[in-house]
Amino acid sequence: MKRITLTGTAALATLCGLAAPAAAQDGPTVYFMLPNSTTIRFERRDAPLYAAAMAERMPGAEVIVQNGQGDPTRQQRLVEDAIAQGADLIVYTASDANLAAGALRAAEEAGVPVLLYEHDAIGGKAEAHVLFDALAVGQAQGARAAELVAGMEGTVRVARVKGNQGEYGTRMYEQGQNEHLDPLIEAGKVEIVCEDYTPNWDPVEAQSFAENCLTRSGGAVDMFLGMNDGTTGGAVAALISQGFGKGEVVVTGGQDATIEAVQFIVQGWQDNTIFKDLRVMADAAADLSQDILEGAELSGDRINGTVDNTFMEVPAAFLPVENVTVDTVGRVVESGLYTWDQVCDGAGDAAICEENM
């Protein structure tokens, strides 16, 4: 558990166990519940960006960051403890969307509002949901895969490395990808040789799947299509472990623009990633948090859709996404996410790096 006290400058202290009683403060206490450590963006980027955004909007508030570590039972305990410690708002990224109802019910019964962040949470009340447009992500991934397939000869053998089963995001990514893949499959241009979900988005699980697929097919895979940079990174690791060279098998369908994925792109191991500007997400989440805490009506300039979580139509703030390939990788540098030195670390004589270093 991490406690971030926002008094203009964020101070971070790492504590053990469940939340300790909140320190005295002028503003509200917000608990930011992360889903796991395997999707590295949440601890590395989302939590500090959200804390900084809240510090600008509500100085004196306190943001306490906790991680469910992929265990929905643990995460529910953390939610219940946050309620007991006097949480004014819970910003919730579910460890398992299908097993989040208990945590949402506990918050509703205690009168503590919940703002869903990125992941969906099935079967309970939430004030709002801030997320990148998951269907648009899947559509962008599918369009890029179809573009690559069009440039390949014969039937293209595709292995699909899907996300965590049952999540709204996974369903939307699959739906968006299928819009472009299904016609190619029906036309005989694409053959799906392997496909499976990746528990908890774990790159190690994705690597194991990719290695098994390569073994079962005798290496007869032309493309790995993932759903985030963890699943594509697992496919890259599998190719390296089995002695494949850069570009022998196309790896596409990345998402999150992690530094590892961006480096793979400039090195030639990975084709693309979907860049989601987490600064935009942090600002949107902080704006909604402030509205909820101050009892303001969630206005149309923030809310542009809904997400059905089977309990209710949750008001949603959908955020835009952007596809990034080696030709446009400079976009992540322009955004301030990384420097060219970071992007080009290990890239050797990659042309894009020689042009910009």
For the chain, report the end-to-end CA distance as a whole number of angstroms: 39
22: three-class secondary structure by DSSP: coil
Structure tokens at 80: 């219940």
How confident is the model over 300-321, as pLDDT tens digits?
Answer: 788 999 999 999 999 999 998 9
126: three-class secondary structure by DSSP: coil
What is the residue-wise DSSP string for 163-223? Answer: -STT-HHHHHHHHHHHHHHHHHHHTTSEEEEEEE--GGG-HHHHHHHHHHHHHHTTT--SE
CB burial readout 21-53, b (16+ within 10 A) else e: ebeeeebbbbbbbbbbebbbbbeebbbbbbbbb
Taking the domains of the chain in order of start, what are their residue ranges?
A: 2-126+277-319, 134-275+327-356
Residue range 2-126+277-319, CATH number: 3.40.50.2300
Q: What is the pLDDT of residue 166?
A: 84
Low-confidence ranges of the chain (pLDDT < 70): 1-25
Fold of 134-275+327-356: Rossmann fold (3.40.50)
How confident is the model over 177-190, as pLDDT tens digits?
Answer: 999 999 999 999 99
Please tell me if the domain spanning 2-126+277-319 has the same topology as the one spanning 134-275+327-356: yes
Q: What is the pLDDT of residue 245?
A: 95
Q: What is the pLDDT of residue 25?
A: 57
Q: What is the pLDDT of residue 259?
A: 94
